[in-house]
Chains A and B, each alone.
Chain A
Amino acid sequence: MSELTAKEVTSRRQRRRERARQQQADEGGVPLRLLGVKRRTVFFLTALCIVFTIYTLIPIVWVIVNATKTQYNILTTFGFWFAHPFSLVSNFRALFNNVDGVGVYFRWFLNTLLYAGVGGIGATVFATLAGYGFSRFRFRGSRSAFMFVIAALLVPVTAISYPLYLIYARAGLINSAWGMILPSLVTPVGVYLMRTFIDASVPQELIDAARVDGAGEIKIFRRLALPLMGPGFVTVLLLNVVAVWNNYFLPMIIFSENSRFPLTVGMGVWASHAAQSGDQNIYPLLVTGGLVTIVPLAALFWFVQRRWNGGLLVGSLAN
């Protein structure tokens, strides 16, 4: 039995390797030496990349290391090595506590999950529908409507925060989850990206073929366009979720109850509270909380990157 599983595992691994090779071939991977790049240049560029990687990873390493320390150790020991006592578990546990009455980390975490989940997925769905419409249908005003969307890219949220607040106050959206979710559903960038992506990845010929084959527009979208939009969809999904996840300004305006805060605002409040009160326990919480904040996004990224496979159209169209 176990032998069989082992065999299965190897064959799966082989298949994966095979697929990677296939993908490289599809993408026309050419060894660098055939491009006439000098060995030294390659070495130099590689070194540069490594340096940049280290630079990028240092803060994350720091967060991981210091999430295991007490406040005293965070402030006094070497930042890139562990120290006694190992307090990751107690730090983690403290995330469930209402620190100094300011708020509970996991409450905020769930809020963020809700806002980013509903907002991010919803925004992606709308962006996909709108992008498809703009890309594949010509209707009266379609051009100017799209220009309008592009123009919306140019307006910073900060500029409209005050009118937004006034509208929210009227609409009763202050301190409501909808206040956070509704504006997150609209992403000009997402619409723009989806349109551009669909232009390139869902050929009109295929849509024409499906129409002649008897498919209605909704079936064409679901059965044909959507599978081809995969990479674009997950990219926009990732961008949207991250945008809502990291959104600080909007929740800061609309939420005054700390039970509604997302992580960004909650931890911001913690940080200023720590700075003012000199509270002994808040720094480890900020660090550990920061670490926990990264996890869902990293997981999402891992989930999404598997779908960034190119060459979906290979074999569909001649030339």
Chain B
Amino acid sequence: MKSYPFAQTPARSLTAALPLLLSLIPPPTCSAEDAPESAPAAAAAVETMPVVAVPTPAVATPRELSLHELIDQQIGAALAAKGIAPAARANDAEFLRRIYLDLTGSIPTLGEAKAFLDDKSPIKRQQLVDRLLNSPEYARQMQRVFDVALMERRPAQHIGQAQWEEYLRNAFAANKPWDVLVREILASDGADADLRPAARFYLDRGGEPNLLARDVGRLFLGRDMQCAQCHDHPLVSAYLQTDYYGLLAFFNRSFLFTPKEEPKAVVFAEKAEGDIAFKSVFVADATDQPARPHLPGEKEVEEPQFEKGQEYAVSPADGVRPVPKYSRRSRLPVLLPRGDNVAFRRNIANRLWALMMGRGLVHPLDMQHDGNPPSHPVLLDLLGQRCAEMGFDIKAFLREVALSETYQRTSELPPGVETLPPDSFAAAALKPLSAEQLALASLQATGITDVYRASLGPALNEATLSEKVAANLPAFLGVFAGQAGQPEQEFQATLEQTLFMANGGVLRSWIAPQAGNLADRLNRVNEPAAVADQIYLCVLSRPPAADELADLTVYLQARTQDRPVAIQEWIWGLLASDEFRFNH
């Protein structure tokens, strides 16, 4: 697999290389000549497409600033303009828990927490960010995040969940640029064994053209144009019916093809004919308007015309996959994931920002349009541009966000301040743990993951540990994960979830003492201060406060008769607390 070296200071180095890169980019054309003539040609285009195309910035970019400095400058300027005093810098423990959850999906072990808190280095936060970004845990966490984002918990049908996860994990481990990843996803038809997992985006949506048009718009362009299926969006003037059908037209000739000899090797095939037309349901006597493929707001793709009977490289026949000479769908990976596609680069910048900050600069993430302006328009433009300039290097981008003061603020409001607007980013957001984060953090907090580590002995590594841990996830995910096919919803506490936490056997079994887990270890510690230290560092990744130590000491003194029960009560009290449920 191709590797993508992780540049420590990508913004500067890429900026320096800008003229060179620009000179390599052919002028954008949409002539029929450069249209791939067949599906194999489209696959080849994945490798040859230019990665970066940078337009003239809309605003003067202070090139001397690194991206994280730029973030702080922009956010800071907006705060100053509004007269908002931001929250203080997060303390080390708060930063520690936050960055672990964001970049690895779980909380630190007792040892990791202690080591970081005891570390006296002035650059220990940056060192931690770099260490985590280069850890296998990072690749797996990104795999989880992008699996849920791209597939929205749809059941695996044609591509195994494990293959898809491996594909994503390898991509993030190699730091595959976002545009390359998207190009693979949009170009893969499932026929090429190496790229077959990438075809899951199409195949496990059943190849349904409307669903694909909607989700390509939402996930890669930040535009949910569902309402524009039937009419121009009544409230969003930028969402036009013609744009929805323009996206749909890339897919309307495509269909799932099942090879007779290999019924499981379903591929996404395409016909050479089939046009769509639309009319508004709101306009009486509307006439059908033909729809040709085009990206929202852009001009229609020019399509080669073939004589009747000459349209196919491989003609359709019973049991034969047809191959058209001109593939509509293959235009999409060429046209969409490009640095000069403003919607594309803004979408990924906004999504990565939201991953770290808890909300997008445009929020909701798939409602990028004039009527829903970004909270910080200049910053969003800059982030999009820089992201493209950095070669859509996801690690580098996340690193810059993580190093910003904006990211590193505490979630505690400053004294005397009653409220701060969430879209000002004046304080850190409380991010509800995802279903996966909640399960993994609970396993780590209760020491079950430590038990697995011990049991693996010399075989311990990220992969073997992950495999052990994975067996525990389904029970949690069944209760906490969102509905298949729906975007992850905003936070809701459901009765089912709370009863699971309160009375469920799974969590109770983790809290109950078993050799090597937290309760078991605490049962063998006498000193209340040592108990408090371990319990708070393990569950909440911070040392206990003085009053917490005092309370715990009194509690344990009163419960000498049933001390193990008292310890479990304390663990549960912390696990069920707001502090645990949210990434703060």
Are A and B part of the same complex?
no
Residues of chain A having any CB pair with chain B under 8 Å: none
